[in-house]
Amino acid sequence: MDRSSSQGILLAFLAFAAYAVSDASVKLLHGSLSAYQAVFFGALSGVLALPLLRGPDERLTDIFRARSRPMWLLRAAAALTGALGSVTAFTHLSMAEAFCLLFLMPTFVTLLSVAFLREAVGWRRWLAVILGFAGVLVVLRPGFRELNIGHLGAVVGGLSGAVTVVMMRAHGKSESRLSLYGAGLIGPVAGCGLLMLPGFVWPTPMQWVWLMGYGLLMAAGNILVMLASQRIPASLVAPAQYSQMLWAIAFGYLVFGDHLDPVMAVGVAIIIFSGVMTFMRERVRRPRGWARVPPVHPQ
């Protein structure tokens, strides 16, 4: 492995470490602010990454331009629902359980790719889909435990991330990265900016700390993923996201007092295995546009 590849892998792990700490920051709010406010200020912090994305012949106003306006609007909407879903999940669930359901994203990518991109899917990827859903059933144990809005939020977050990946596969070659990234900011900023107004509460100094931690570390993760993607293929960057589960378990035990019971641990292992199977298969046979598609954090 050459030096550039080693740097890329290291940057990928640092990116998902930043994402994990960002998620822990929003969980530390303990629902004291609405999800709308958390997402608004978090997305606003993402503006810091725009100068690093801008090409030599691009202007910042290009974030509003797109060759396919419906695609741009759908990207913005998916960013909004994904952010709200994941913040809701981390507010109401343990970090490990939230990540477990958010990691269904590769499974959703497979299903959406078949439905909308007409991709051919072999038995290995179908097996990964079945394993992913089996893992969710093990974790959720429907009928044996109470489910809440956090579970729904996590599923919505994973599905929204999958929509983004599929759109980037379809339009990644024709749209600028500045436009794609910009839509992911505009959706949450505009949508949550309006939704938070009726119940807006000015954050306390401690709440500002967690809000800035959430937003700035999210922006740092985005920058690190972009830097990693410049050095190694996206199919190598993506599996590093599963390192977030280690961070989630550590934060759960050390900060939030959560415990991973044996049954949930089995479900988590099944879902992670199914996701790795999907990404490894992508590495062997990449669909169109896959080389340009960076991993998408659920938020």
Within-domain flag for 116: yes
Q: Please check whether residue 299 lies inside any domain of the structure.
A: no
d(CA 50, CA 292): 18
| CA pair distance 274, 285, nearest whole angstrom | 17
Mean pLDDT taken over the chain? 83
- The answer to whether position 173 is within a domain reads yes
Res 298 pLDDT > 80 = no
Q: Which residues contact 103 (CB under 8 A, 6 or more apart)?
A: 158, 241, 242, 245, 271, 272, 275
User: By percentage, how much of the chain surpasses pLDDT 70?
Assistant: 89
Residue 43: inside a domain = yes
Task: List, for residues 123-180, the tens digit of each pLDDT value.
Answer: 777 888 888 888 888 887 776 678 899 999 999 998 998 888 787 777 767 777 788 7
**Each residue's pLDDT tens digit, 211-228:** 999 988 988 888 888 778
In a domain, 298, yes or no: no
Classify residue 122 by burial, with Cβ atoms within 10 Å: 0-12, 13-18, 19+.
Answer: exposed
Q: Is residue 198 part of a domain?
A: yes
Q: How many domains does the chain have?
A: 1
The answer, yes or no, to whether residue 10 has pLDDT greater than 50, is yes
Is residue 297 in a domain? no
Domain residue limits at 143: 3-292
Q: Looking at the domain assignment, is residue 260 inside a domain?
A: yes
Whole-model pTM: value is 0.86
Tokens of 134: 């089996």
